[in-house]
Structure 1
């Protein structure tokens, strides 16, 4: 690997303990000692691309996905084990036959059966799409090492821990719309790049936070839903539409059908997020998904918001927010002309003068 400090090419023996034997300086990540095969220069290069050379800021979740894409494509069940078991089984078979050790045939049979089992498991999809380093592990392992060496996150990366959803002051102007975003990485990304403030949008975590803001919204002020392309994301959108009939609920998330048709989109699986039988029953009952899509969702496949290129995601949301702002302003101008409401002051004072629309 290349030393990120002196840029010398280092053999494994020349970088013991993550210290360059030439410049004697420490670095954070060694591709031989982490499951994503990361090194400091690659992390910096990917972060620079994601931030558009520092024009925007990103979060650890977005950086994790970008660094994991290649390994997610390569992920397989028991890598290297099938070949090893097969070769071992063949060698032990020859040993048993020519050495006249019939009991070793049992060992050979077990090794060959193991190789066959691994091949069958791979054909059935075992291990595919499972990240060798989870988002949580990326934070606790790779980024922890980075912070220890450099004292801060990579350039352009802002923390997505804690409570990334901005708190709205009591005297804040009434928002034009509500943006629901359960993913803390994306919430922190949008807040860091100023989208909520720029467009007068309230950024919230989940459906339970929407109800409290509805009295402050214009009568047709929409609720935008940012969600992953997975079973829970699809159910979140339907839940909000069922809970708030008559209120525009805009799907601003990743489209399942669209993303599955994109050759460069790399989905992945998290075993702990595999949908329950009850969740799959609800999705099936909607009648909106094909049998293939339901099977894909039931296996726990998902395409996350953190997988959308940050520049593209921000641009799309900016355009959507501008359209919403123009629509709300048009409604306000019309309301002022006919004279039966004053926004935003009237939004929180008493019943809706438009008849509770």
Structure 2
């Protein structure tokens, strides 16, 4: 291991107690103790890149995603076979009855009864059972472990978190000139609204004054009752947007999950007079490319048919979400996330006001051509609400 203080190469004995034997100074993390990738030099370099050398503020959750050493995701599966308790609950009484029959009888009938008893026991012992499992994912190190290291050992060693990193478990400091809502633009005068379903992303935008810079209002919505139901989030989004004028453009930021990909089409259907730009994380990018965080969780509302018809997803993307896979928007590198939000707001402001039922969807990272004019739409026919610009790319590597 390289000492982060003096750059000396240290053996395990030379760094006992996380103190360098050469310079005598303490460091925070030891990969041999805290796991692969948990090294002061690596974490500091990741934080420096993520903050764009101090220009941006990022949250501790974002740093955790970027500092991950491994990421796994497993789809759910149904149980297979018969559980052992049920097998033996049936096999043992049957075998006992057959043995009793063999004892009480004789000749060929006794032989057949004994053979049947042995067969029942052999079959019961040879049968295998694989229990079912729910979709689940894992990031190494775990979030709680990483937070404890950064708030504990790292903060004690360096007297605080890395430069530009704020703990999102605590109130995030507002940029200079911002009011209590996190923006210097009055709510009654924004040029656009940024609707965000991820608390970490909303904190990142607020801490960097991005809504104020874009003269946009930031609307954070989430699942109030914790059930993950789309009606709850949609109702919260529509209620929050009610404070803005009806024609105000809206940029929707969301995770690559069923709730997220359906939110923009549903808002567009409920308020067709708004320009609704979907700037969320697209399923096609996450499913078909490396570098994104892939997780899995049970989602009873992940209906592949609805994802195809309402959100306009390709079959492969809808199936991927239907299996429980998803990816958080907060795991996108902060500089890329900032660029996407800026471009999405600019696109929303430049887009013409859509007539009723006009569809306007923009993808993530790659923008489509200029929106069709009403004349072009009438000539070619309008698409149903929810049809997006996602393209099928690659195969799932989750």
The reply to whether TM is greater than 0.5 is yes
State whether structure 2 residue 281 is matched by structure 1 residue 266: no
More helix per residue = 1
Give distance in 1, aligned partners of 2:18 and 2:167: 25
User: Which has the larger Rg?
Assistant: 2
Q: 2:210 aligns with which of 180, 195, 202?
A: 195
Aligned to 1:223: 250
Query: Quick one: distance in 1 between partners of 2:152 and 2:37?
Result: 16
Give CA deviations for 1:322-348 in whole Å, capped at 9, x if unaligned. Answer: 34445699xxxxxxxxxxxxxxxxxxx
The aligned counterpart of 1:315 is 339
In structure 1, the partner of 2:8 is 8
Q: Does 1:256 find its partner at 2:271? A: no
2:267 maps to which residue?
240
Question: What's the CA shift string for 1:72-95, capped at 9, x where partnerless?
Answer: 27x89xxxxxxxxxxxxxxxxxxx
Deviation at 1:256, TM superposition (A): 1.1
- The runs of 5 or more residues in structure 2 that have no matched partner are 75-125, 175-179, 222-233, 354-398
Q: Is residue 320 of structure 2 the alignment partner of residue 293 of structure 1?
A: no
**Counterpart in the other structure of 2:365:** none
- Mapped contact 1:230–1:302 kept (Cα < 8 A): yes
Higher mean displacement: 155-164 or 2-11: 155-164
1:138 aligns with 2:146: yes
The Cα offsets for residues 144-175 of structure 1, whole Å up to 9 and x where unpaired, read as: 32222222211122332345596268965521
Give distance in 2, aligned partners of 1:185 and 1:10.
37
Which residue of structure 1 lines up, in the alignment, with residue 191 of structure 2?
Answer: 176
CA RMSD of aligned residues (A): 3.7
Q: Secondary structure at the match of 2:242?
A: helix
Cα deviation, residue 23, structure 1:
2.5
1:38 deviates by 0.7
Query: Normalization by structure 2: what TM-score?
Result: 0.60
- 1:77-92 correspondence to structure 2 within 5 Å: none
**Deviation of residue 245 (structure 1)?**
3.9
Q: Which piece of structure 1 moves more, 189-198 or 164-173? A: 164-173
* C-alpha distance in structure 1 between counterparts of 2:194 and 2:137, whole Å: 29
| Matched positions, count | 282
Q: Residue 220 of structure 2 corresponds to which residue in structure 1? A: 205
Partner of 2:217: helix, strand, or coil?
strand
Structure 1: which 5+ runs fail to align?
A: 77-112, 330-357
Q: What TM-score, normalized by structure 1, do the two folds share?
A: 0.66
Asked if 2 retains the 8 angstrom alpha-carbon contact of 1:232 and 1:275, the reply is no
Is the contact between residue 179 and residue 204 of structure 1 (CA under 8 Å) also seen in structure 2? yes
Aligned to 1:152: 160
Q: Secondary structure at the match of 1:54?
A: coil
